[in-house]
Amino acid sequence: MTETPKTKGPASYFPSIEKTYAKPIAHWMAVLEQAPTRKHMELVNLLKTAHGMGHGHANALVAVFLAQAAPAKP
């Protein structure tokens, strides 16, 4: 039998984020893309204050967003 590997790290929060806030992850990534900053804690605070998101959920989204936006290492 093959098991589906469990998602680990910040992305493991994604199902809970979608359920709690009733919006897909793509919506939150678009919100972060439009933000005027790329600083981690400023983005976390934006999600918390402007969208009522909890710290853990906001932190997970920002971590994945910034990892995707980072230039690839040679």
Residue 74 CB neighbour total at 10 angstroms: 3
Residue 72 has what pLDDT?
Answer: 65
Q: Which two tokens stand for residue 74?
A: 């040679």
Q: Which two tokens stand for residue 56?
A: 């853990």
Q: Where are the alpha helices (DSSP H) in the chain?
A: 14-21, 25-34, 40-51, 55-69
9-27 burial by CB neighbour count: b if 16+ within 10 A, else e?
ebeebbeebeeebeeebee
Residue 28 has what pLDDT?
Answer: 98
Kindly report, residue by residue over 5-28, the tens digit of the pLDDT.
Answer: 788 899 999 999 999 999 999 999
